[in-house]
Amino acid sequence: MDRRKQQVLKAVVEDYVDTAEPVGSRTLARKYGLGVSPATIRNEMADLEEMGFLEQPHTSAGRIPSDRGYRFFVDMLMDTVVPPPELVERLRRLYAERVDQVGRLLRQTAQVLSEATDCLALVEAPRVEPVTFRHLQVLPLSERRAVLVLVTDEGLVQQRLLELPEPASEADLQRISAVLTRRLAGLTLDRVGHTVLRELYDELAACGALLEVALEALRPPASDEDHPVFVLGTRRLFRQPEFQDLERAQAVLGLVERQELVRDLLGRQGNEELVITIGHENPYPDLYDCSVVSATYRLGGEVAGRIAVLGPKRMHYPRITSLMELLAQLLTEALERTVR
């Protein structure tokens, strides 16, 4: 692919992102300084179409980028931009405010993200597995129920309901809490080896059954309640011309309403700092007309989760990626302050 073809492809993508209209050779020649005539551009576009980078919605319309075209653009052609300083400033101030609830911080991030991009924003709560225990406490709920509260080194708090095999006194629970904390603090679950377990059993022989229940509760991955996903900006999707088609919009709505699917979607993006998936690269057919841009945020140095925007393939990739990077950074910092 020679230099000029790249220029043409880039111009097509940028113009289409801007106008949502198929772009023709004349527009290209006029608006972008390519220095050649529309006829030449037509030839190039025909080539690009043959190579699979462009498509024609119908004969005698302009061209639009194909998935492959977007992919090439994103990988090779995209300008790097920085978010406008006013925005950066505004966000810095917003995130400088002390927020004392993790959930609110995440929700705020989703809100900003969707506002600034006119797309749907997805933000998952910190994944805290595997995790280093800091404190474990079993509190009585009722005769046969208790709640295990676990505090991690990262400063996150989770709770798990326990079904007690036998009634336990408050003192029992207190004792088991103390021992669990003493033994497990500083360890991750996978590093709770046999030795530690043995010792634990010895020490808590009296309440063996109870202990088992408690350990069991440590095992399962974060539950829905501990690990929610914030989805904001559904309405903004409808501002995009490609979602005037209600069928398609409904499909996306239905998908993002299912927490487990969203979590799966984010999970599949891996742990790369910044990931862009375009159209058919997405794992769900309902998203074949969408793109997802996601970034990681961190907690205690470790990747803690992803934030993402979901929108039409025709999104402003440079602007959105730069914003994502900024927000991921701000969120990481704010989280660190909130939770530590």
Partner DNA sequence: CGTTAGCACTCTCGGATATCGAGTGCTAAT
Partner DNA sequence: ATTAGCACTCGATATCCGAGAGTGCTAACG
Residues lying near DNA in the complex (CB under 7 A) are found at 21-27, 36-40, 42-43, 45-46, 49, 56, 58-63
46 binds, among its own copies, DNA, none (CB under 5 to 8 A by kind): DNA
80 binds, among DNA, its own copies, none (CB under 5 to 8 A by kind): none
Determine contact, residues 94/216, Cβ cutoff 8 Å.
no
Indicate whether 340 belongs to the interface with its own copies (CB under 8 A).
Answer: yes
Indicate whether 215 belongs to the interface with its own copies (CB under 8 A).
Answer: no
- How far lies 114's CA from each of 107, 247, 320, in Å? 11, 22, 10
- How far lies 93's CA from each of 87, 109, 330, in Å? 10, 13, 10
Instruction: Map residues 78-117 to x or -, x wherever contact with its own copies holds by CB under 8 A.
Output: ----------------------xxxxx--x----------
Of 54 and 255, which has the nearer Cβ to its own copies? 255
Residue of the chain from 235, 264, 273, 285 that contacts its own copies (CB under 8 A): 235
62 binds, among its own copies, DNA, none (CB under 5 to 8 A by kind): DNA
Q: Which stretch binds its own copies (CB under 8 A): 16-24, 204-212, 254-262, 326-334?
A: 254-262
Residues in the chain: 340
Of 42 and 68, which has the nearer Cβ to DNA? 42
Q: How far apart are the first and last CA of the chain?
A: 51
- Tokens in use for 259? 């927490």
C-alpha–C-alpha distance, residues 82 and 90, integer Å: 14
Residue of the chain from 42, 71, 135, 280 that contacts its own copies (CB under 8 A): 135
- Tokens in use for 256? 């993002």
The counts of H helices and E strands in the chain are: 13, 10
